[in-house]
Amino acid sequence: MRKLIVSTSNMGKLREIQKYLASLPWQLQLKPKELEIEETGATFMENACLKASLVAKATGEWAIADDSGLMVDALDGAPGLYSARYGKTDKERIERLLRELGETENRKAQFICAVAIARSDGSIALQIEGICHGEITHQERGEGGFGYDPIFYVPTQQQTFAEMKPELKSKLSHRGKAFEKLIPQLRSLAAIG
């Protein structure tokens, strides 16, 4: 079984990725804690590739990284790359976003997740992007999820991410769509090497 280093120190993210990749012959492991990576890319994909490549080079193993965020049309794509830094807490980030949108009629938004896999030499083997289109509600709805989930509404389901059952959110989300595309390709890579 080939080792795949997950470019995060977050156990929650490791568990989430393990769920997506459970059927594959890869042994997932957290990156070394002392390995800090500054996200200097101009896009989600650049950041994912940067993290995967640096972790692969540092560990000598294959690595996987993702970068994701929320882009709101009426805010020219904000919060975008700064989604996690739009406030100190989820509550502050949501309040700021709703305040900046105000009563704007155009509430269209999209969650984007970029995933990159790097070979042990740091070269990028795979790049996949998943996008979930939706709208921003005027107020929070639902108790589940995290981050912007209570205000991200998916019209086809008539629910916010926070109102959805975890299995449904996992399937429809930007991360779910990215991993759905990634799994067959990652399975092929495991078979080759």
Active-site annotation, residues: 67
**Contact call for residues 152 and 134 (beta carbons, < 8 A):** yes
**Ramachandran sector of residue 8 (left: φ over 0; alpha: ψ -120 to 50; beta: rest):** beta
In this structure, the dihedral spanned by the alpha carbons of residues 146, 150, 154 and 159, taken in order and rounded to 10 degrees, is 110
Consecutive H or E run containing 100? helix 90-101
How far apart CA 140 and CA 37 sit, in angstroms, is 33
How far apart CA 43 and CA 179 sit, in angstroms, is 19
